[in-house]
């Protein structure tokens, strides 16, 4: 990966020359600093100001593992495109759609949550977050001394659940995500969004995707050399072309582009 800010002028020039652009951001760890619990996450006011201005000139989408209503409430900006549950349900220009989940998968989700809940009383600080299309097991607050044994138990349960064939599970940053085993993810949604604007505007937009976690790799993988993919954080391997050091640099990237266009003077 290349340091985005080492060649930021070239990236800005490339975007200015593009006939159409769509900006896509993850939420936790990208627009919001990583928080100890999902409830504590927030979007800094300056970032919110820049996003609000950006959407006046380009389509802006937020794609999160959170429930759709949750991420909408956390961001709090009208007129954006929102996708929840890693793209399983979304709202584009006021119209909502979602992936349909069959009853057997819903039953598998319920059974998986019961298995996880049985071990949680032994691990203070670990907790389960229910979502409309899956659930997450968070262990950021778990004491370090108990983490190894907890992860061993979690891995065992993960393997049992995946063998049933209805759910997939993915480790992220101090979290294990369970979601339906269907051919839809952040990458599929990103491609869907690109096609949506290509059909509407009769030109394929340049997609700018910024994300920090494992599930964002699905989106990076569908982008081409005519797009801009940015990983947030220090990581040796990613499908993204560029990286930035931390979440604070996301705001610098957005505001810097608006300044380059002459739309932002603060």
The candidate with the shortest Cα–Cα distance to 208, out of 9, 18, 71, 34, is 18
pLDDT at residue number 26: 97
In which band, very low, low, confident or very high, does the pLDDT at 265 lie, cut at 50, 70 and 90? low
In which band, very low, low, confident or very high, does the pLDDT at 264 lie, cut at 50, 70 and 90? low
Mean pLDDT of the region 116-130: 94
Domains of the chain, first to last: 2-99+184-261 (3.40.50.1000), 103-180 (3.30.70.1020)
pTM for the whole structure: 0.89
Mean model confidence pLDDT for the chain: 93
d(CA 113, CA 240): 33
Predicted confidence (pLDDT) per residue in 17-75, tens digit: 998 999 999 999 999 998 888 889 999 999 999 999 999 999 999 999 999 999 999 99
Cβ–Cβ under 8 Å, residues 92 and 50 = no
Mean pLDDT of the region 225-240: 90
**Range 115-153 burial, b when 16+ CB lie within 10 A, else e:** ebeebeeebeebbebebbbbbbbbbeebeeeebeebeee
């Amino acid at each position: 990966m290349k340091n985005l800010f080492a060649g930021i002028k070239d990236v800005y020039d490339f975007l200015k020359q593009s006939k159409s652009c769509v900006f896509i951001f993850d939420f936790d760890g990208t627009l919001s600093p990583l928080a100890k619990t999902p409830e504590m996450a927030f979007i800094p006011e300056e970032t919110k100001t820049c996003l609000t201005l950006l959407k006046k000139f380009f389509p802006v989408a937020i794609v999160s593992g959170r429930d759709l209503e949750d991420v909408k409430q956390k961001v709090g900006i009208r007129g954006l495109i929102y996708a929840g549950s890693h793209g399983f349900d979304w709202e584009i220009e006021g119209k909502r759609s979602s992936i349909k989940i069959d009853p057997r998968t819903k039953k598998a989700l319920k059974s998986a949550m019961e298995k996880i809940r049985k071990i949680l009383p032994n691990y203070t600080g670990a907790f389960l977050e229910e979502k409309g299309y899956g659930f997450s097991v968070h262990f950021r607050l778990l004491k370090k001394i108990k983490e190894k044994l907890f992860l061993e138990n979690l891995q065992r349960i993960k393997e049992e659940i995946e063998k049933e064939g209805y759910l997939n599970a993915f480790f992220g940053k101090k979290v294990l995500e369970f979601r339906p085993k269907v051919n839809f993810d952040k990458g599929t949604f990103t491609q869907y969004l690109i096609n949506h604007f290509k059909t509407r505007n009769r030109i394929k937009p340049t997609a700018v995707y910024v994300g920090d976690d494992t599930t964002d790799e699905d989106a990076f993988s569908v982008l081409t050399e005519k797009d801009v993919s940015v990983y947030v954080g220090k990581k040796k391997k990613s499908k993204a072309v560029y990286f930035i050091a931390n979440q604070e640099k996301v705001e610098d990237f957005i505001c810097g582009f608006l300044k380059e266009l002459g739309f932002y003077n603060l």
